[in-house]
């Protein structure tokens, strides 16, 4: 792979979910969650994937992680196919890691922070040899803005922002090159959101990470993203630089999303539902 090749390539991704039967003799309902999505993430790039709830953006993230298997399409990391998580070679399992939306539910409340992070090294011991783990732990916690003493505490004793820093540290423990953040700041207060966003940008720079950042919040996108891909009803409707998206969006749906979040014309701010009526 050359420096100009994408870290992640998604081509013609399609995912459908089968719901319950309408009746004893009827067929199952089918929801097309992702319909022909193609996108790339470049080395050391932050790509924001945005859209309203139910647009399919989180399903794309779970396909990248190998938690959902698409019916059609391909996902490759540095030219290598990414299949289900349990069938990936160890180096590909390590290469792509996730930061979940709610650190309160994604961290085991019965384990200490140190134990949570060390779990990754038990599965992949070569990443941090046993004699180096204490120092690696200290460096990892420092990298996310936490004191070494946090390792002895449980997640329930930490604030929401601290817990999300622990989640990021856990994701970084295996030294990934691609980080998937699924609504990683939506459960946090606005002031804490800004701190976590600054941390992610700093880690992206110092650790040469690529980041797929899933969000519905365009204010967050404006702070963190290099490029933005917009999804609607399972389809990708626009993909461009963050600067271009906020100055000259081309798709009516993107324009509606921005109109819902910002007063673009100097009038009163409209709700998302009002904006949708204008673009439907």
pLDDT averaged over the chain?
86
* CATH number of the domain bearing residue 56: 3.40.50.300
Per-residue pLDDT band for 184 (boundaries 50, 70, 90) equals: confident
Q: Tell me the backbone φ, ψ of residue 174, rounded to 5 degrees.
A: -100, 10
Name which of 81-90, 139-148, 216-225, 261-270 the model is least confident about. 261-270
Maximal CA-CA distance, the chain: 62
Q: Is residue 1 part of a domain?
A: no
Average pLDDT over residues 80-106: 89
Q: Is 211 a residue whose pLDDT tops 80?
A: yes
Q: Is residue 195 part of a domain?
A: yes
Q: Is residue 80 part of a domain?
A: yes
Per-residue pLDDT band for 22 (boundaries 50, 70, 90) equals: low
Per-residue pLDDT band for 26 (boundaries 50, 70, 90) equals: low
Instruction: Look up the pTM and report it.
Output: 0.86
| 240 in the same domain as 166 | yes
| 198 in the same domain as 272 | no
| 111 in the same domain as 163 | yes
| 261 in the same domain as 230 | no
Tens of pLDDT, residue by residue over 104-121, are 788 899 999 999 999 989
Average pLDDT over residues 253-277: 57
Tens of pLDDT, residue by residue over 129-155, are 888 889 999 999 999 999 999 999 999
Q: Is residue 141 part of a domain?
A: yes
Q: Is residue 3 part of a domain?
A: no
| 271 in the same domain as 133 | no
| pLDDT value of position 176 | 94
Q: Tell me the backbone φ, ψ of residue 139, rounded to 5 degrees.
A: -65, -40
| pLDDT value of position 23 | 60
Q: Sheet holding 46-50: strands in order across?
A: 96-99, 178-182, 210-215, 46-50, 227-232, 235-241
15 vs 37: CA distance, rounded Å: 10
| 191 in the same domain as 149 | yes
| pLDDT value of position 3 | 56
CB-based burial label for 81 (10 Å; 0-12, 13-18, 19+)? exposed
Tens of pLDDT, residue by residue over 236-250, are 999 999 988 888 888
| 39 in the same domain as 71 | yes
* Residue range of the domain that includes 218: 8-248
Token couple for 194 = 């800004």
26 CB contacts (<8 Å, ≥6 apart)?
none
Q: Is 24 a residue whose pLDDT tops 70?
A: no
| pLDDT value of position 92 | 93
| 175 in the same domain as 93 | yes
Average pLDDT over residues 221-228: 89
**Dihedral over Cα of 173, 177, 180, 184: its sign:** positive
Q: Is 268 a residue whose pLDDT tops 90?
A: no
87 CB contacts (<8 Å, ≥6 apart)?
66
Counting the structural domains of the chain, the total is: 2
Residue percentage of the chain with pLDDT more than 90:
58
Containing H/E element for 136? helix 133-143
Q: Is 188 a residue whose pLDDT tops 70?
A: yes
| pLDDT value of position 106 | 84
| 118 in the same domain as 257 | no
- 3-class DSSP string for 24-78: CCCCEEEEEEEEEEEEEECCCCEEEEECCCCCCHHHHHHHHHCCCCCCEEEEEEC
In the three-class reduction of DSSP (H, G, I as helix; E, B as strand; rest coil), residue 96 is classed as strand
Q: Tell me the backbone φ, ψ of residue 90, rounded to 5 degrees.
A: -55, -40
Q: Is residue 85 part of a domain?
A: yes
Token couple for 280 = 């439907």
81 and 75 Cβ atoms separated by less than 8 Å: yes
| 267 in the same domain as 242 | no
| pLDDT value of position 21 | 64
Q: Is residue 2 part of a domain?
A: no
Per-residue pLDDT band for 18 (boundaries 50, 70, 90) equals: confident
Q: Is 80 a residue whose pLDDT tops 90?
A: yes
Structure letter (DSSP) for residue 145: T
| 215 in the same domain as 153 | yes
| 226 in the same domain as 188 | yes
Average pLDDT over residues 78-89: 92
Containing H/E element for 179? strand 178-182
């Amino acid at each position: 792979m050359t420096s100009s090749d994408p870290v992640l390539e998604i081509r013609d991704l399609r995912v459908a979910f089968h719901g319950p039967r309408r009746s004893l003799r009827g067929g199952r309902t089918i929801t097309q969650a992702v319909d022909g999505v193609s996108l790339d993430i470049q080395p050391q790039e932050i790509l924001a994937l945005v859209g309203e709830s139910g647009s399919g953006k989180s399903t794309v993230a779970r396909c990248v992680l190998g938690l959902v298997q698409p019916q059609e399409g391909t996902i490759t990391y540095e030219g290598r196919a990414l299949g289900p998580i349990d069938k990936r070679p160890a180096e590909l399992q390590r290469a792509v890691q996730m930061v979940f939306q709610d650190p309160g539910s994604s961290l085991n409340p019965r384990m200490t922070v140190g134990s949570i992070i060390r779990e990754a090294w038990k599965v992949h011991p070569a990443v941090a040899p046993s004699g180096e783990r204490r120092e690696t732990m200290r460096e990892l916690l420092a990298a996310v803005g936490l004191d070494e003493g946090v390792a002895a505490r449980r997640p329930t004793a930490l604030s929401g922002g601290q817990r999300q820093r622990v989640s990021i540290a856990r994701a970084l423990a295996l030294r990934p090159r691609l980080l998937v953040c699924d609504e990683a700041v939506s459960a946090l207060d606005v002031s804490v959101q800004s701190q976590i966003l600054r941390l992610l940008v700093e880690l992206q720079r110092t650790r040469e990470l690529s980041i797929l950042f899933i969000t519905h919040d365009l204010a967050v996108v404006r702070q963190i993203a290099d490029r933005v891909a917009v999804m609607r009803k399972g389809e990708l409707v626009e993909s461009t630089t963050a600067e271009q998206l906020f100055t000259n969006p081309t798709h009516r749906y993107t324009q509606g999303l921005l109109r819902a979040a910002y007063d673009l014309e100097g009038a009163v701010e409209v709700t998302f539902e009002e904006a949708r009526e204008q673009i439907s």
